[in-house]
Structure 1
Amino acid sequence: MDDTVDDERVRGLDAAHRAVLEFLGSLDDRPVWPRATLADMLEAFGGPLPDEGVPAADVVQEIVSRADPGLVAIPGGRFFGFVIGGTYPAALAADWLVSAWDQNSGSALLTPTTVALERIAGGWMLDVLGLPESASVGFVTGGQMANFTCLATARNAVLARVGWSLSEQGLRGSPAIRFVVGADRHGSIDRAARFLGIGRNDIIVVDSDDQGRMRPAALDAALEDGAGPLIVCLQAGEVHTGAFDDFAALVPIAHDHGAWVHVDGAFGLWAAASEALRPLTTGMSAADSWATDAHKTLNVPYDCGMAIVRDPAESIAAFRTGGDYLIYTSLDPWDVSPELSRRARGVPAWAAMRGLGRRGLAALMDRLHDNAVMMAAGLASIDGVEVLNEVVYTQVMFRLASDEATRELGAAVLAEGTAAMTGAEWRGRSALRCSMSSWATTPDDIDRTVSAIRQLVVD
């Protein structure tokens, strides 16, 4: 290799390494929320494309010198917004390898190392979560695409059960699919349904309880009248309350009516890794597919989700592609997800699980729950703050007396900078939500956050 090319890589990577360490070293003291808008960053990086290029190290330095105000301290211990985990160190380091290796990980024959790591990671996950060991695991971009991939497989399968070949006959004239969801499902379920040609008018919504759990009696009643292809979507971890559907009651009801049962477990699937939290997932393994979002609870870098299907043959039927130049093995990554070309996103998942081990995974889940309990107790100790949910997992939702005061507090928290949390609406009223998703969160982070909120409420 030309020494100039080799030196260019070394200098560029050295510059990136220094910048990354500096950023990570700043997390404890920097404001968690960004201090610049999109317009600010467009101005910082914009302008015409220069005529002449510059060395890699200069490119890195140019990015770093302008980027800081628009960066969020997601990898730190006080980012509680949405449901986003920080990156576990082993997963971060492995992700650097993935970029350097530059393997197109759709084919087992083409890139056996990365496909092997992904397959083993998938097997470890199935084992830890108590899911069928023969299930297929497709590594996709995140929870949205995991739900889409599983539901695309479900659509293909339930139509095939009534004699309709989607690959041959398409959707036009196909039997109508009954698509059943809980009242408090995540929006990615509706979005996946829309991608699949299932509109809002085709969705059957089942009542849920005060924590967002689907009511078994309501599901049974909803399925009594009707026939034809049926998909029922349940969830492990309601995004506001953290509540889990009663799988032991709901899955048999759905199966008795001939349904494909899908579980949206974007962050909740991993509760099964903990002996203490596993009861939340009782009955979950009897479903037909499961989706999770590994850059949430597993704490791997963006992007990584897993689409899990009980019978790999169903995945192959939905996704196996053509092309006389492609080379197939018995089961390739492109057989179980929509992508052909992609990065080896399962390698950081392998690294995170290997770095933590079975006991470490369990301890991480327990620690996230403990952090949520501690945060809820701290918030409840502040005069005027009401905690709204049963803290069964990692979510804490709270509010002040009025919607206006709650929204003002949310804005003040982001402006103050100690922590980040995001707004929500629960049962028609404004709320704020803390998601305990990061391995990096410590009791001190929670104490600092509660102290900052107490001061903002007093002021």
Structure 2
Amino acid sequence: MDARETALRRAHEHAVRWLAGLSDRPVPARASVDAIVRALGAELPDGPSPPAEVVDLLATACEPGLTAFPGGRFYGFVVGGTEPAALAADWLVSAWDQNCVMRAASPAYAAAEEIAGAWLLDLLGLPGASAVGFTTGATMANFTCLAAARDEVLRRAGHDVARDGLTGGPAVQVVAGADRHMAVDLALRYLGLGAPDLVAADDQGRIDPESLRHTLATGPGPRIVVLQAGDIHSGAFDPFGEAVRVAREAGAWVHVDGAFGLWAAASPAYAHLTAGCAEADSWATDAHKTLNVAYDCGLAVVRDPSVLRAAMGLRGAYLIHDAQGDPVDKVPELSRRGRAFPVWAVLRSLGRSGVAALVERLCGHAAAFATGIAAIDGASVLNDVVFTQVCAEFGDDRRTDRVIDRLLADGTTWISGSRWRGRHVLRISVSNWSTTDEEVARSLEAIRRAAAGI
């Protein structure tokens, strides 16, 4: 116990020091992979080492190679930081080390998952009887929901996937917008469904309902339609009301990929963006994006719990099954962390008004970025800034790339590039609870320096 307590104290000291330094340190990592390998030591030791010394070595060797993802000036990908209550709860998750498969094995975890799931459905305006599974992230949340969709639409067509696999069954037509996220394609590939049929999108990435209608009319059934809440470049939301109606007319299952955008429903100021979204059959999102829970934590929501249970559930003679269902019935992983504990903690800490304020603060920072960039000579904001995403260019592709390179070399902020609608863009994703007005101002000044130096 002494060795364990000493190691935990050292880990706490290093963690506090790391978090306290985020506001001052450069955002990009300062050391290469090779340098970190040398510092950690590539040779496996012949004998044991004291746990506290191992923690010290890990922390000091890795610190130069860490990117300040949890800080308020990282906007390169849609990744949040970790809210204080969620971070502390995540430490407890490791200390408690619960097997989260069955209600009987860990009543505490099952209770936290049940409550957190109900709160999430309430906040997101989704049907209250839906099943909520806690996955690793949005990719596996999409996988889980689309697995339920695949099995159900094939069952309606008279084919039992669980018994017969895909061989001999009817082809499933999956339809998605041209600007869908690549995680959707990855999930479909894992599920043996292949690439989706693509539907035209408008200049903000929103699916076109009439093109959707035409595509569904020409293809075979059974059908799955994938919509999105929050385009990764523009932040735009599909027109759910009309798109869902079109999909329903064709008898399709409707799935919504809402990795970061689904949280708009939690804010009275932005809930209109998700109007009609609750009429879908399944939804995927991330808790470690807009909600700011530590990695890893995705959420798979399916309207009909029995359909999710049929796709994900398993039985084992040594497992103690509960008549009410178990956490294992809702996600692919048999072994996993107690992801619901930090989600419960952050929701209990923020409350309904706090989650709304978090969403609105992130959106406010994105709007400030758009205003500031538009005032820079030669810069243009390319998207309608409706949520947390901003895409900008600086005259032409070459100049935009040079601005991005200079910005990353400066180190004040991390804003990476992308390619959107045929152009190279600077893409800003505002996702961190700890971002302040001052940090937005510092980051804008760094963008100005980078643009002025070319």
What's the TM-score, normalizing by structure 1? 0.97
Query: How far 1:292 moved relative to its partner?
Result: 0.3
Partner of 2:261: 268
Partner of 2:243: 250
Q: Which moved more, 1:263-272 or 1:426-435?
A: 426-435
Query: How far 1:449 moved relative to its partner?
Result: 0.6
Equivalent positions of 1:139-178 (< 5 A) are: 139-178=134-173
State the alpha-carbon separation in 1 of the partners of residues 210 and 301 from structure 2: 27
Query: How far 1:43 moved relative to its partner?
Result: 2.7
Matched, 1:378 2:361: no
Matched, 1:199 2:199: no
State the alpha-carbon separation in 2 of the partners of residues 405 and 352 from structure 1: 42
Partner of 2:299: 306
Q: Secondary structure of 1:29's match?
A: coil
Matched, 1:322 2:329: no
Partner of 2:225: 232
State the alpha-carbon separation in 1 of the partners of residues 83 and 304 from structure 2: 31
State the alpha-carbon separation in 2 of the partners of residues 399 and 40 from structure 1: 34
Partner of 1:369: 363
Matched, 1:408 2:396: no
* Kept after mapping to 2: 8 A contact 1:413/1:456: yes
The one-letter amino acid paired with 1:336 is K
State the alpha-carbon separation in 2 of the partners of residues 163 and 102 from structure 1: 42
The one-letter amino acid paired with 2:121 is L
State the alpha-carbon separation in 2 of the partners of residues 32 and 341 from structure 1: 34
Query: How far 1:353 moved relative to its partner?
Result: 0.7
Partner of 1:458: 452
Please give the root-mean-square deviation of Cα atoms over the aligned residues, in Å. Answer: 0.8
State the alpha-carbon separation in 2 of the partners of residues 345 and 11 from structure 1: 26
Matched, 1:76 2:75: no
* Kept after mapping to 1: 8 A contact 2:123/2:352: yes
State the alpha-carbon separation in 2 of the partners of residues 177 and 222 from structure 1: 14
Partner of 1:42: 37
The one-letter amino acid paired with 2:171 is A
State the alpha-carbon separation in 1 of the partners of residues 140 and 437 from structure 2: 34
Give the aligned length.
Answer: 452
Matched, 1:425 2:424: no
Partner of 2:202: 209
Partner of 2:270: 277
Query: How far 1:342 moved relative to its partner?
Result: 1.0
State the alpha-carbon separation in 1 of the partners of residues 35 and 224 from structure 2: 45
Q: Secondary structure of 1:81's match?
A: coil
State the alpha-carbon separation in 2 of the partners of residues 188 and 277 from structure 1: 24
Matched, 1:115 2:142: no
Matched, 1:128 2:107: no
State the alpha-carbon separation in 1 of the partners of residues 400 and 63 from structure 2: 29
1:92 to 87, 91, 101: 87
Query: How far 1:327 moved relative to its partner?
Result: 1.1
State the alpha-carbon separation in 1 of the partners of residues 436 and 42 from structure 2: 42
Q: Which moved more, 1:402-411 or 1:357-366?
A: 402-411
1:448 to 431, 442, 445: 442
State the alpha-carbon separation in 1 of the partners of residues 38 and 136 from structure 2: 29
The one-letter amino acid paired with 2:408 is L
2:431 to 424, 433, 437: 437
The one-letter amino acid paired with 1:249 is E
Query: How far 1:415 moved relative to its partner?
Result: 1.2
Cα deviations across residues 352-408 of structure 1 (Å, max 9, x unaligned)? 111100000011111111110011101111111111100000001101111111112
* Kept after mapping to 2: 8 A contact 1:115/1:344: no
Cα deviations across residues 280-333 of structure 1 (Å, max 9, x unaligned)? 000000000000011100000000000000000001110111211111112111
* Kept after mapping to 1: 8 A contact 2:171/2:220: no
Equivalent positions of 1:11-22 (< 5 A) are: 11-22=6-17
* Kept after mapping to 1: 8 A contact 2:115/2:344: yes
The one-letter amino acid paired with 1:254 is A
Structure 2, unmatched stretches of 5+, are none
* Kept after mapping to 1: 8 A contact 2:313/2:329: yes
Query: How far 1:44 moved relative to its partner?
Result: 2.4
Partner of 1:353: 347
Identity %: 53
* Kept after mapping to 1: 8 A contact 2:79/2:288: yes
Query: How far 1:93 moved relative to its partner?
Result: 0.3
Partner of 1:3: none
Query: How far 1:36 moved relative to its partner?
Result: 1.9
State the alpha-carbon separation in 2 of the partners of residues 299 and 19 from structure 1: 21
What's the TM-score, normalizing by structure 2? 0.98
The one-letter amino acid paired with 1:143 is A
Matched, 1:7 2:20: no
Partner of 1:66: 61
State the alpha-carbon separation in 1 of the partners of residues 392 and 275 from structure 2: 28
Q: Secondary structure of 1:424's match?
A: strand
State the alpha-carbon separation in 1 of the partners of residues 99 and 402 from structure 2: 47
Q: Where in structure 1 do 4 or more consecutive aligned residues deviate above 3 Å?
A: none
The one-letter amino acid paired with 1:298 is L
* Kept after mapping to 1: 8 A contact 2:131/2:308: yes
State the alpha-carbon separation in 1 of the partners of residues 219 and 424 from structure 2: 37
The one-letter amino acid paired with 1:138 is G
Q: Secondary structure of 1:16's match?
A: helix
The one-letter amino acid paired with 2:358 is L
Cα deviations across residues 410-456 of structure 1 (Å, max 9, x unaligned)? 12111111111111101111001111101101110110011111111
Q: Secondary structure of 1:432's match?
A: strand
* Kept after mapping to 2: 8 A contact 1:236/1:269: yes
Partner of 2:331: 337
2:47 to 45, 48, 52: 52
2:216 to 196, 215, 223: 223
Q: Secondary structure of 2:197's match?
A: strand
The one-letter amino acid paired with 1:60 is V
Cα deviations across residues 112-146 of structure 1 (Å, max 9, x unaligned)? 10121111111001001110111000000001000
